[in-house]
Amino acid sequence: MTSADRPVRTEVRGHVLVVTVDRPARRNAIDRATADALSAALDRLDDDPDLWCGVLTGAGGYFCAGSDLTANGDYVTERGGEYGVVRRQRRTPLIAAVEGFALGGGMEIAMACDLVVAAADSRFGLPEVGIGLVPTCGALFRGPRALPVNVARELVLTGDPMPAARAHDLGFVNLLTEPGAALDGALGLAARICRNAPLAVAACVRAIDDALGGDGAGWAATEAAKDVVLPSADATEGVAAFLGKRPPTWTAR
């Protein structure tokens, strides 16, 4: 079975569910089938009482390049929202294990996790403005929570990637590992979580999310930004230029 037939792999290690996006030919970008498979895996994580922690990673030396643009936005699931991940109301802690890069929606997936482990040579970025779009999967409000506000602005407004070492220094990355060791690092962190009472951990996950005040206002602000940008000529031009591998010509219209 190829990764095209099975875009997401799961493996149980004790009380930990390892979820791997397996589309390395597309740099683990998310399409409809991948979103559905991710959502099913994370449904299992939250619904199985024997699973006390999850680890989300990518195959082939990449974490995730975000949306597969050929999917035309068709990657929203009923329970998890975009990618089956970013609007999910989870009880079970989820750790992102990042190799290579987490760009666009890939960084937003990492932001939707509880903890982040990253290889020292990995990178995080929100390049949407470079193709005439805006981050639509939580970065506009989760970024300023997870990072200093001006750093979040820098990522969003420049589109330039951030090295994992800087993300670690700023507190977004919990644990920095040697290249190729992010999964092992995440499993070690998961083992530390699983030493504790699972009901208490689940209650803490929910309480911390509740204490942050919910995401309603953040999603409303994101929708307002989308309403401005998505109908624009620049958005059409940016995506066409990206797919055509050419520089865009902006008109501010």
Instruction: Point out the catalytic residue in the list 108, 154, 223, 237.
Output: 108
Residue pair 65/103 in contact by the 8 Å Cβ criterion: yes
Sign of CA dihedral 205, 207, 212, 214: positive
Measure the N-to-C terminal CA separation of the chain; round to a whole number of Å: 46
Q: Smallest Cα–Cα separation from 142: which of 224, 213, 81? A: 213
Told to judge if 237 belongs to the known catalytic residues of this protein, a careful annotator would answer no
Told to judge if 11 belongs to the known catalytic residues of this protein, a careful annotator would answer no
Sign of CA dihedral 85, 213, 124, 224: positive
Instruction: Point out the catalytic residue in the list 11, 78, 82, 128.
Output: 128
* Strand intervals (E) in 71-189: 76-77, 81-82, 94-98, 101-103, 115-119, 123-125, 162-163, 175-177
- Going by C-beta distance under 8 Å and a sequence separation of 6 or more, which residues neighbour residue 53? 15, 16, 17, 92, 93, 94, 95, 190, 193, 194, 201
Phi-psi category of residue 85: left, alpha or beta, with phi > 0 → left and psi -120 to 50 → alpha: alpha
The residues carrying an active-site annotation are 108, 128
